Amino acid sequence: MTNTKEIYKEICFVFARLGLFAFGGPAAHIAMMEDELVTKREWLKKTEFMDLLGFTNLIPGPNSTELAIALGYKRGGKIGLFLAGICFIFPAMTIVLLLAMFYKQYGEVPLIEALFSGIKPVILAVIIQALFRLGQTTIKDSKSLLLFLAAYLLSLMGVGEIMILILTGLTMLLTQQLSKWRSRHLAIEPMSLTLLFLTFLKIGSVLYGSGYVLLAFLQAEFIDRYAALTSTQLLDAVAIGQFTPGPVFTTATFVGYLIQGVPGALLATVGIFLPSFLLILLLHPLFNKLRSSKIFAGILDGITVASLALMASVSWQLGTATFVSWFSVLIFAVSFIGLIRFKVNSSYLIIMGGFIGWLVTMF
């Protein structure tokens, strides 16, 4: 019994610390987990770690958070699953909630506007850099390129994100099967708490790809469909999600607070992360079969292409709202070069952007 309690304490300590200090997005989170749990603590072998990573890439939701949940499950069973996930999410959620309160109270103060005016171009550079990096592995052939372009055009035409993901995934599966046979998707009226929760529950249930794909869903749901946010508020929410440690999906905490205060923040957070807990709990015993399934892998290939196209579509929309001055263009260029050429951590660039935005406003 003592050993079990010690395991639970260790899980809480490790993932709370990761949730507090894991800056830099999903890739950084995964690298820190591998270093801490495989190399230092030897919870599991590297091959086992990669198997879990592959499994989380096959299901919808925030990959690095799902990996934390799966690692907690492997270390401490069902209780470990919930401890790891909650401890990884809670520090980031708390920080984002406090910043949301500050933003809602003082968001119109010139200092806050100045900070975000410098941060927004950095965020756009991070997204563009992710597009290039992911595109190198996602757009593998002419078939993938055509699906990418089709999904991008559908997004610009206003087709829903979920529909685009489903259509592209099924199309990729059908083309793969065919190839084998031949060769032998301004706050005006606040949303209700129920609708807010259900909207984030839907997003958490169907979102594939990196945290950046979340942008497309937020744009479609909270700006285009319900008019519950402005474009500026969405950009600021993304900036907070990038700047703070832990899961990028705690952007939901910020959005929920802007719409319905503290209850909205809590329900939005629960809604977007709950599917990840349930998926890992239900599918973890079957992940080896899922990983080797040719049908599921084929659908996933198409979904990955569609996710990239949605990111490209949102990047265009964010670009039009970001490039409003000469220094925003300059910050974007410097950030993009820093990310691509010198591999600078995005958190440092965000701090730099906020500082420059403040300097330009002051002088």
Which tens digits make up the pLDDT trace of 35-88?
789 878 889 888 788 778 777 777 788 888 999 999 999 999 999 999 999 999
Q: Rounded mean pLDDT of 205-230?
A: 80
* pLDDT at res. 291: 59
Q: Rounded mean pLDDT of 227-241?
A: 83
Decide if 197 contacts 274 (C-beta within 8 A): no
Q: What is the DSSP letter of 186?
A: -
CA angle 210, 339, 36 (to 5 degrees): 60
Asked if the model's pLDDT at residue 176 lies above 60, the reply is: yes
* pLDDT at res. 111: 63
Q: Write the CB contacts of 239 (distance below 8 Å, at least 6 apart in sequence).
A: 116, 119, 120, 123, 350
CB-count burial class (<10 Å; 0-12, 13-18, 19+) for 6: exposed
In this predicted model, which residue has the larger pLDDT, 137 or 13?
A: 13
Q: Rounded mean pLDDT of 349-358?
A: 82
Whole-number Å distance between alpha carbons of 24 and 243: 8
Which tens digits make up the pLDDT trace of 91-125?
999 988 988 888 888 765 456 667 767 777 776 77
Smallest CA-to-CA distance from 215 within 266, 255, 246 is with 255
Enter the pTM of the model. 0.65
